[in-house]
Amino acid sequence: MGQACCCLQVDQSTVAIKETFGRFGDVLHPGCHCLPWCLGHQIAGYLSLRVQQLDVRCETKTKDNVFVTVVASIQYRALADKASDAFYKLSNTREQIQSYVFDVIRASVPKLNLDDAFEQKNDIARAVEDELEKAMSMYGYEIVQTLIVDIEPDEHVKRAMNEINAAARLRVAANEKAEAEKILQIKRAEGDAESKYLAGLGIARQRQAIVDGLRDSVLAFSVNVPGTTPKDVMDMVLVTQYFDTMKEIGASSKSSSVFIPHGPGAVRDIAAQIRDGLLQANTTLQ
């Protein structure tokens, strides 16, 4: 901006307020203007038409008695067709806007709980914008946008909220961990049951194979050795199985020695004991 030789330059997005002998004369728009100061014309001041921003921090409390600091961002600009009102009617535009913001926020937030205040930020911003629009339009200003950019609770309240959130997440994690352990136990039990079932099938098949082998051995011995009865062959097979069993015990036992009866008479006693055991079993089953 400059004034020389009665000429005045007004920059873009700016208007100048011209007075004549101290009285409002005209609004000078961007460009070059003739201003004969010798006739009492002078520039009272300049008014920017750019959008300006005012950040307001307002401390208040919620319905559940939690003190919070609400940060509001007000974007406003002067209207070119009401430049004289914007220049003369307000001495301090920013303080005037701040007063209206304080009034609306302190009337709206105490009606809400803390959680509701966070959820209804847009409603609070809309209430502030509506009140400012009605109040500032008569002064030549337009409210472009009103934003509630932050709601800051007291530090102790913020810490308590974080602890509540952390506890809730830990509870969910504990439930998930317990559910995972439950699934592992169920799967482990199912695997153990399946293993035992298959082991039972294996034992049954093993016993069936032993019975089939004994039957085939008795039949083959009776055919190849004339004069023997199936009973004689069975006694011999049982005695053989007994000694094989004792051999396995001696080979797999952790003890260094195993005591068993020895001598020809011991073999006869063993055969008799096996025979008597089979007879008693048959009698019991009958």
| In-domain check, residue 33 | yes
| In-domain check, residue 23 | yes
Indicate whether 102 and 149 sit together in one domain. Answer: yes
The CATH number covering residue 132 comes to: 3.30.479.30
Can you give the length of the chain in residues?
Answer: 286
Indicate whether 21 and 58 sit together in one domain. Answer: no
Quickly count: other Cβ atoms within 10 Å of residue 114's Cβ: 20
Residues 6+ apart with CB under 8 A from 218: 230, 233, 234, 237
Indicate whether 112 and 41 sit together in one domain. Answer: no
Indicate whether 144 and 76 sit together in one domain. Answer: yes
| In-domain check, residue 57 | yes
Number of domains observed in the structure of the chain: 3
Segment 153-196, tens digit of pLDDT = 877 777 777 788 778 888 888 888 888 888 989 988 888 888 88
Q: How confident is the model at residue 73 (pLDDT cuts 50, 70, 90)?
A: very high
Residue type at position 114: L
> What's the pTM value of the predicted model, to 2 decimals?
0.53
Indicate whether 37 and 72 sit together in one domain. Answer: no
Do 70 and 147 touch, CB atoms closer than 8 A? no
The parent domain of residue 15 ranges over: 7-47
Q: Return the CA Rg of the chain.
A: 53
Do 108 and 100 touch, CB atoms closer than 8 A? no
| In-domain check, residue 158 | no
Say yes or no to pLDDT of 1 above 80: no
Indicate whether 64 and 124 sit together in one domain. Answer: yes
Indicate whether 56 and 145 sit together in one domain. Answer: yes
Indicate whether 36 and 112 sit together in one domain. Answer: no
Indicate whether 17 and 96 sit together in one domain. Answer: no
| In-domain check, residue 267 | yes
206-231 in b/e form (b: 16+ CB < 10 A) is eeeeeeeeeeeebeebeeeeeeeeee
Specify the pLDDT at position 74. 92
Which has more pLDDT, 223 or 265? 223
Tokens of 86: 């914007």
Say yes or no to pLDDT of 108 above 60: yes
Tell me the DSSP string of 146-183.
EEEEEEEE-HHHHHHHHHHHHHHHHHHHHHHHHHHHHH
Tokens of 240: 């053989």
Beta strands in the chain (DSSP E): 2-4, 7-10, 14-20, 23-28, 31-34, 41-48, 52-61, 67-78, 141-153
Identify any residues that bridge with 60 across adjacent strands, giving them in sequence order: 68
